[in-house]
Every structure is written in C-alpha cells, then in structure tokens.
Chain A
Amino acid sequence: MQKRVVFRSRLLPYLLVLPQIAITVIFFFWPSYQAIESSFFIEDAFGFSREWVGLQNYFELFDDPGYLKSFRTTLIFGVSVAFLAMSIALGLAVAANRVVKAATGYRTLLIWPYAVAPALAGVMWYFMMNPSLGIVAYWLRSLGVDWNHYLNGDQALLLVIVAAAWKQISYNFLFFLAGLQSIPKSMLEAAAIDRAGPVRRFWTIVFPLLTPTTFFLLVVNLVYAFFDTFSLIHATTEGGPVDATSVLVFRVYNTGFIGQDYGSSAAQSVILMALVIGMTFVQFRYVERKVQY
C-alpha cells in the first residue's frame, strides 16, 4: 500500500527537498562539473593561465604506460581486497552464527575494526610488517620469508591489500551474519534429512541463498577498494615502491597535488567518476532486481 501525501501549497514540497538538493548540488554536482571542465584544459602549476586542449589530457593518459599499469594495479588490488575481505568475513559469520553462548559479545568484538580509521588501520599494519621493527615481519623472517615491502613491490601491494581487507571484514561480517540468520533453520534441517553433509549444505543451500548479500557486498567492496583506500595507501606505502601500490585514486592525488598537473588529474577523476557511475548502475540494475530467487 502506497500512501500519497497531497500538499495544499505548491511551494512546501520543494522547500522540504531543498536542503537535500542544495547539498547534492554544492558538494557533488558543482565539483564534478569543475573536474569535467578542468579535464579539458592544461593549466600552469600556479593557476595563472590555462589553455583549452580538448580531449588531449585523456589521450595522453591512455598513452601513458604508467597509467595503464595503475589500472592493472587497481584491478588486482580491488579484486583481491574484495575476495579476501568477503571470504574471511563469510567464514567468521558462519562461525559466529553457530555460537550460542555470549553471541552478542563475540559479534561486537568482530565489528570493532570497522570503527578504526583507514589511515590508522594502514599504519598499524605498516608497523607490524615493518622489516626492521615489525613483529609480523620478524615471524615471516623466521619462517624464511624475506619480507621487505620498501623494496619489493609485490610485497608492498600485498601489505596494502591485507590492510584494506582487514578494515572491511567487519562490515562484510555484519551483512553476512544478517543474511545467514535470515535463512530458515528448517531448510537446513530438511537438507540434513536429505543426506547433505555440512559442507554440501553450505554450498548448495546456504551460499546460493546468500547470493543477494554477496552481490551487494561485492559492489560495495569494489567501490571501497577502488575509491576509499586513498588514506590507507597514503599513510603506508605512498604508492611505492616505484608505483607498485599506486592505485587510480592515489594517482589522481599524485598527479594533481604532487605533480601539479591539474588537467590530467581532473581527467583521471572523471574516469574514476565514470567507473563509480557504472558500478552504481550495475548495482541498481542487477543486484536489486535480478538477483532474487
């Protein structure tokens, strides 16, 4: 049942949505417009003059092997973070769902990491993995792994992936747990009577029923990894060594604020914007409509 409110005054409904619209326009549309506009100019580093260059900034980006490599890094980073954060969260949620005693306390503890700021999470992992004073690096060395993310680009990428994933596990955990709890117990009992063991029950009943949650989290996690991990990378590896952890968002910052190439930086953020819009579209179109049973 849908209730419609009929306003007597024509002005009131517009007044009611005005604050929301004002926020959206001032903080979202206007900067977006500025970014799109700047991406068509080449500006000198001090902002005194600029020159219209059309799509040149974009062409240069796609000719730049560094930028293309950054795309690849972002993809590896995003997919790894999403996979790691989601699989660990699912494992924890399955375990938490079986806990009967002190379940609330256990869940609360698992949710805590979400309250840690991304930069702090990054720094924490950075210290633990620090080749000269980190405890985890020390353990790794005793296992024969030569850990040094200052020199080894792959290890640096692994470090930021682990740190970013760790931060996201709590969020995923909450959603997976809610998803698991919404599966009727009798369905699993029916499967048990149908001779399915615990593992088979999980993969044939539980996991398919979690599909809507999984898809939702996949999009959220990818968006997080692609766009929300700047502070984490900035606080730990600063994109290095040699661009090994320079994901797209970090590159926007680097090009704009370090390299002072505002035009190229703007073009990069426009591309990122297009990516977000694309993923949001996917989420609305497929996740909210198609993934049901």
Chain B
Amino acid sequence: MATLSIKSLGKTYPGNVTAVQDVDVEIADGEFIVLVGPSGCGKSTILRMIAGLEAITTGDLHIDGERVNDREPGDRNIAMVFQNYALYPHMSVRKNMEYGLKNEGLPKPEIAKRIEEASRTLRLEEYLDRKPRQLSGGQRQRVAMGRAIVRDPKVFLFDEPLSNLDAKLRTQLRAELKALHHRLGATFIYVTHDQVEAMSLADRIIIMNAGRVEQIGTPMDLYLRPATRFVADFIGSPAMNFIEGTVGEDRRSLAINGTQVLNMGQELPARAGAQVAMGMRPEHLGDAGGADIQVSLQVSFVEQLGADTVVHGNLSGGAQPLAVRLHGVHASEPGSEIALGCGMGHVHLFDTATGARLN
C-alpha cells in the first residue's frame, strides 16, 4: 500500500525518439489507476518506468515519498503482471510463486503460509505442482497474479494482463480483479488499450495519446466531460458522433460544408467564424420533439444488439457519418430517414484545430 507521485516524467530513447513527456500525477493509497490509450501512446513505457525496467530520462518518481528513480526493480517494492504472464516455464506453479520470496530471504514457514493464502484466494491449490504449460490461459493468468500477491508489494502493476484471453474469460477475470483490489486495498496501476476495461475497473483513468496525457479523471469525468476531442472519441462505444462546421454570425448556428445550417438552441461558447467539431454520443440522440438540436439521419445499416439498436448512416444531405443508439428493438430500412434530436446538455464542443474543449 503506497502513494505514488509522478512529476514531469519523460522518456526519450536514443535517436531522440520521445515516447513519453511531461506526465504529472499523484496517486493515492489504494487507488485503482488505469492507463489507457491506443498502441504506441506510451502507456506501457510509463508502467515500465514505474517498475524500473526502463530508465527514467526526465522527472521524478516517488513511492511513499521516497525517490526511486535510480532503484533496481527488485528494490522498489512493486510486483508486475505481464501481458504474456512471463511465468518461469521450468518451474512448477509453487516454485514460480516461491521464487521472489526466496530471493527476499523469507523464512520457509512464512513462504508456505503466503503461498497457501494466495493459492486459496486464486483457487490454485490443485495446480501447485503443475508446470505452466499444463495450465490454461486463465489459470496461467491467475498464477501470474499469485506471484504478485505473495510478494505483498506496495504497488501492483499490470501490463495488459487480460488481452491474451477470450472475451468471456476476460469479463470474468475483470470482475475477479476488481474484487481482488477491494480485498487487498493495495495501489493498482493497470495498462490497457481497451476502454471498456478501463471504464469498468478504474477509480481514475489516465488517458494517453502520442506520449502525452490527454486527461486524468474518474470514468464518469471522461465520459461526461471529455477534455479533448481525442478523449471524447476514445471513450464510449459506439464512438461519439462529430459534426464539423463553422460557427455562424449569430453564434447560434453551425454551417456544415458551407451549405447546410444547423440551428443551435443557444449561443455557442465560440467566436463567430470559428471552426468547431460538435460531439454527440449515439446514446444521447433521441426523439426530435422539442430538442435543442434537430438532425436527420439517413440510414445505411443497422446493428441489432437485442437490448439496443445501433443505426449507422449519414447526416442527411451531407457526408458526415452519424450513428444513434436506440433503446430496444427498432426496424429501420437502409435509405430511410430518421428525425433525431439532442439536448444542449449532451453536446460537446471542440476546437477543430487544437481538439480542446470549448464548452
């Protein structure tokens, strides 16, 4: 259990390739932090810098108030679960879990006690004498977790631990992971590219893009008030609709492609003539009657999901793609038009050039 303080952290590889820059975050004791972003955004690099597997180029990393920049991975009191689990293939499950404890020089009875506890928690008792290759993907994943738990570390690090598993198992282990975090009360830092995983697990999400932090906040912060267009686009499925246009003279309308004018219910927080992207989540589009913004959707195809229906198409009279998520079962013919509306409260306005939020 520990606090983590990351100050203007950066990583530059030889050849001046910057993988991460200017990351600032304070992580509270027992927090579940998820680092999320597309591949190559630097999220794993941050995790590896916390673990000590990558040298920190700039900035400071403090664990429980102590600066650990120059400490060896083994001396940082952390444990890590790898994407490919990195189990030692020539050792049994028990030996895999013992390895770190033996290196620490713990007395034998203490080692046995911890392994017994961990294997009970993770339901691994009957597999203790097996080799990793005799286990299924989910079991290996649990062994990797067990190897971390027995160490009783201050911070748990997870590098996309569920991405090698099938969808059903992933959902199941996600729930187990959440329960485990609750029971251990330890600080978890978790890397994933899957926004659903991030939303469902995190206390706070750090969303990254091209080596920089886009936004740090609770899942609902990110969903309800995305700070940038990137965040708005990344969080939520199906992804947010964006309609790009120019703010009209009265600042109450949006000109799309120069031909179509969309009337807004109220004054927009942008100067006249500004290029903006208006974001509306598919689930926030609905009945046209009395809504602030009225749009018409020309249907191109329909996804029937049972609980919901996602209708994809274009903004009528234009090429801007638009999707709507309707509750329940709806039948819509391709080519037909649906009248939709959205309240101003659900509209996100971004600067087209910088991607920054305007409202």
Which residues from A are CB-within-8-Å of B84?
184, 186
Which residues from A are CB-within-8-Å of B75?
195
Q: How far is the CB of B118 from chain A (nearest CB, A)?
A: 14
The one of A189, A191, A197 that contacts B99, using a Cβ cutoff of 8 Å: A191
Interface check A275, CB cutoff 8 A: no
Is A195 a contact partner of B88 (Cβ separation < 8 A)?
no
Which residues from B are CB-within-8-Å of A197?
74
Proximity string of chain A (203-233) to chain B, C-beta cutoff 8 Å, 1 when within and 0 when not: 0110011010000000000000000000000
Which residues from A are CB-within-8-Å of B336?
none
Is B131 a contact partner of A293 (Cβ separation < 8 A)?
yes
Is B104 a contact partner of A193 (Cβ separation < 8 A)?
no
Which residues from B are CB-within-8-Å of A196?
74, 99, 103
A208–B74 Cα distance when bound, in Å, is: 21
Which residues from B are CB-within-8-Å of A184?
84, 86
Q: Given A184-B84, A190-B80, A293-B131, A195 and B100 touching (CB < 8 A)? A: yes
B51-107 with Cβ < 8 A to chain A: 51-53, 72-75, 78-80, 82-84, 86-90, 99-100, 103-104
A187–B144 Cα distance when bound, in Å, is: 11
Complex: chain A residue closest to B53, CB-CB: A189
Q: Given A193-B78, A194-B151, A187 and B72 touching (CB < 8 A)? A: no
Q: Given A187-B88, A205-B88, A192 and B72 touching (CB < 8 A)? A: yes
Interface check A200, CB cutoff 8 A: yes
Chain B, interface size: which category? 20 to 34
A262–B99 Cα distance when bound, in Å, is: 60
Q: How far is the CB of B88 from chain A (nearest CB, A)?
A: 6
Q: How far is the CB of A31 from chain B (nearest CB, A)?
A: 43
Q: How far is the CB of B340 from chain A (nearest CB, A)?
A: 48
Is A189 a contact partner of B82 (Cβ separation < 8 A)?
yes
Q: Given A184-B84, A186-B82, A204-B99, A193 and B74 touching (CB < 8 A)? A: yes
Proximity string of chain B (105-148) to chain A, C-beta cutoff 8 Å, 1 when within and 0 when not: 00000000000000000000000000101000000000000010
Other A-B contacts than A186-B86, A193-B51, A197-B74, 6 sampled, CB-CB below 8 A, are A189-B80, A193-B74, A193-B100, A194-B74, A194-B99, A194-B151
Q: Which residues of B contact A (CB under 8 A)?
A: 51-53, 72-75, 78-80, 82-84, 86-90, 99-100, 103-104, 131, 133, 147, 151
Q: Which residues of A contact B (CB under 8 A)?
A: 184, 186-187, 189-197, 200, 204-205, 208-209, 211, 293
Closest 9 CB pairs of A and B: A194-B100, A195-B74, A293-B90, A186-B86, A195-B103, A190-B86, A192-B73, A208-B90, A193-B73
The 15 sampled A-B contact pairs (Cβ below 8 Å) are A187-B87, A189-B51, A190-B80, A190-B88, A193-B74, A193-B80, A194-B74, A194-B147, A195-B100, A195-B104, A196-B99, A196-B103, A208-B90, A209-B89, A293-B133
